[in-house]
Amino acid sequence: MIPLKNSLQIAEMKKAGRITAEAMDAAIEAVREGISTYELDRIIRHHIERCGARPTFLGYGGFPGSACISINDEVIHGIPSRKKILREGDIVKIDVGAFYHGFTGDMARTIPVGQVAPEVLHLIEVTKHSFECGVEAFREGNRMGDIGYAIQSCVEAEGFSVVRKYIGHGVGHELHEDPEVPNFGTAGRGVKLQTGMTLAIEPMVNVGRPEVRELPDGWTVKTADGTLSAHYENSVALTPEGTVILTAVYD
Ligand code: MG
């Protein structure tokens, strides 16, 4: 069942989304050479708890951090660690959610550490753009396959690939709700998109092949071929006025 949200619920989700986005901003500001992913995680947890919210990821399925922090060829679900130190030229993916008043946000960004190669910046840009293409397709009258098709087309036009094994999802009271939101698909297929849907749209884009592998730590997912991967995500609502990004700070 797909839980649709009314305007009051969407207003509540914006509050959780705002805290999520503020925590992300604080972490992004702290990204620099020499900082550990543990320290970034601590900054995120501190902000979320200071707002009277709870880090949604902390303890989710046993996850030990408040955020998933993944470096370079790590795609998603990296575990924050004192031993993981950012280096100039790295890219770091931060994925975070804050649970507040019964709802959660979910968002991810890919941040360059210092100077990175132009082709790496291009990967980050294309990933963000593919998210925007997905949002563009999130409207009444379309189907889920239109979102996936839009994202996939945008990514593959640049010679990159979208991860198949992990996908976006509905978001609301739960971090993962129906429906599934694949970053690939066939236009015109899949569930009908409706006003009141709240989706975490989150392309994961690899420079090389789309295959991934899980590390023995039970969490970290890497590209199978060792190439770089980027991630971009927001929680997005479809309202009578169109799409609204929930994981944002509006003033
Ligand atoms: Mg997500």
Could you read off the pLDDT of 168-207 as tens digits, one per residue? 999 999 999 999 999 999 999 999 999 999 999 999 999 9
CA of 107 to the centre of ligand 1 (A): 6
According to CATH, the topology of domain 7-245 is Creatine Amidinohydrolase (3.90.230)
What are the residue boundaries of the structural domains of the chain, listed by start? Answer: 7-245
CA distances from 131 to 31, 40, 162, 164 (A): 23, 24, 12, 15
Picking from 74, 193, 65, the residue whose alpha carbon sits closest to that of residue 136 is: 193
CA of 251 to the centre of ligand 1 (A): 24
User: Rounded to two decimals, what is the model's pTM?
Assistant: 0.98
CA of 235 to the centre of ligand 1 (A): 8
- Cα separation, 231 vs 109, whole angstroms: 6
Is the Cβ–Cβ distance between 144 and 194 less than 8 Å? no
CA of 106 to the centre of ligand 1 (A): 5
Q: pLDDT tens, 64-114?
A: 999 999 999 999 999 999 999 999 999 999 999 999 999 999 999 999 999
CA of 205 to the centre of ligand 1 (A): 14
Instruction: Name the 3-class secondary structure at 172.
Output: coil
**CB 208: neighbour CB atoms within 10 A?**
16
Helix (H) or strand (E) holding 69: strand 67-71
